[in-house]
Structure 1
């Protein structure tokens, strides 16, 4: 007799933690009931020694023409009581959902992530490339939530110039040098003081974008320009420093560089120009690896420069565990 798999835990390389991949058809649709069910599952994770799993991927086969998978991401936020953010996106978890929901897949897959279209293309050695698009293609200027390429935000530690950009996830990008970090070694060696300053600046960005300060958005990253042809990046997660850079962070950073060409300037755009790199083939150095991102732009019927898609890769993901213990309190309808 075959044992039924209730869920899978999977992880993409570079992710800060694994993802619990769940069948979205077996979860409630209504938000209060969904939160209650996820809180119960979160308590099960804590009780069984899996508390480090802070990301949920809700997946199912898609009935929309041209799509293979419907995906929704839920982030569990730090705290004693289960607290969730349903508005953010996570490329690492999306890829974990693909390999866990469609095991053994060797062909390209299209995933619908809310309003975003993500094309997952398999590559050599089990790697994947991801291409993000928002349909219809947005003008680059509309990726700037405040309408400006740069904004000045005030924190208790001082004022900082940032670029607020929304593609993949909304991000606040700040020059590492404005935080007193003058090299890649200093950025990657920065500790609690710099982390606290970035968190304070993220809270100011949340207020500017009218987001809850205790939520997951906007994300924040410090960017440096110290090596020809590269940008150096370090970002923050809910629990501390990100080990690499979120897929959505890489995607948003490429969008920020591209937007700087039409908005006058953005912080990442100025830094990219200093190192001689651009959005067509942007190389991002993180504490662990180098990620290449490519932005594809075009013209709208009105003559505006639009962002067609942003590609990132290669990335790898694998299933860590198949869970056969029943997780479902009730059988939820689709």
Structure 2
């Protein structure tokens, strides 16, 4: 009988978590290669890319479930942990660490506490997070009755079935997350390809357009929009020009800037309706960072969003409607209109924990790193 050698393999300790309306593995940075190229090879095999089903990994075959959160303790003053977000391509073997993901951010606090990186308080614990993608800080208030994280509660967010414990996220100084400022071109409104747009960067760089300018009503379903490849083709040409104008360079292989297709609110208490492109598909709900950006634009005179939004004060609640419901953003602005902070409620769930098994080149990359 002939025996074959067992291929080399590597185990990566992993916790699969839902954060907001996204899901993905949470990994401690110390368990990944330090070299970015080696790290990316590991993440690609972990998720099972490139494959539309990601059947050979733990990805879910959708950009919303092909995300990784990399967590580490921090030595920065006033910061507890650092969070690096990685968007792993589904049908492409690529990893993009340019944008932040506010939904995955929802689970960073609970993960950090249960990983022993943050000492919990009784009742609730504030976890001070530094996002490496944007260089910005966020505070997450996690429910910790008796000094232990609880995921059970009555908070509900649209796009997720059931209820859970609330997690309050407060974004501090999220202006200019990847560019030079809130309006990186210096204009609140400009024209690309004959269409008026607003190029805005608060928590996420975005190109915002009116739905009506593309003969859209604005409340189309994600499937209806995704079927319009002609629409996506035109928007992609515009997005690449927007990226160049915003100082992001060639964005043909990057997921930022994102696109917001905006229209008037449908709800009596709504502020604005948004369809958020990620950017080659339509988000089934809405990215948190994108909702923050839309909310700020909706309360800033001169933008495309401001014209469509229901009237309201610059400080206070902004309700962004999306395909699965709504996201409520609480804005606090200074007298000069500068956004001091933006807060919202999300939820999270710890789904399973164990090891992702790597083999072949990915295992070698993990060992080498």
TM, length-normalised to structure 2:
0.74
Instruction: Give the aligned partner of residue 298 of structure 2.
Output: 257
CA distance in 2, matches of 1:143, 1:33: 34
Larger Rg: 2
1:151 CA drift (Å) = 1.6
1:247 CA drift (Å) = 0.5
Gaps of 5+ in 2: 1-10, 144-152, 155-164
2:108 aligned residue (57, 80, 97): 97
1:203 aligns with 2:240: yes
1:274-328 CA-to-partner distances (Å, cap 9, x unmatched) read x2234421111111121111221226xxxx5422111122x11112221234556
Bigger shift: 160-169 or 249-258? Answer: 249-258
CA distance in 2, matches of 1:85, 1:296: 31
1:285 aligned residue (321, 338, 343): 321
**Root mean square deviation of aligned Cα:** 3.0
After TM superposition, the structure 1 = structure 2 runs for residues 223-302 of structure 1, keeping only pairs within 5 Å, are 223-227=262-266, 228-230=268-270, 231-238=272-279, 240-258=281-299, 260-261=300-301, 265-272=302-309, 275-279=310-314, 280-298=316-334
Could you say what secondary structure the match of 1:142 adopts? coil
Bigger shift: 168-177 or 129-138? Answer: 129-138
Contact 1:5 1:322 in 2 (8 A): no
CA distance in 1, matches of 2:112, 2:127: 12
Instruction: Give the aligned partner of residue 112 of structure 1.
Output: 130
1:133 aligns with 2:172: yes
Instruction: Give the aligned partner of residue 215 of structure 2.
Output: 180
1:26 aligned residue (28, 31, 34): 31
TM, length-normalised to structure 1:
0.81
Contact 2:49 2:91 in 1 (8 A): no
1:257 CA drift (Å) = 2.8
Aligned residue pairs: how many?
310
Instruction: Give the aligned partner of residue 9 of structure 1.
Output: 16
CA distance in 2, matches of 1:220, 1:226: 18
Contact 1:166 1:252 in 2 (8 A): yes
Instruction: Give the aligned partner of residue 312 of structure 1.
Output: 344
1:135 CA drift (Å) = 7.6
Q: Which has the higher helix share?
A: 1
Q: 1:99 to 1:176 in 2, by over 3 A?
A: same
1:145 CA drift (Å) = 1.0
Contact 2:174 2:203 in 1 (8 A): no
CA distance in 2, matches of 1:183, 1:44: 32
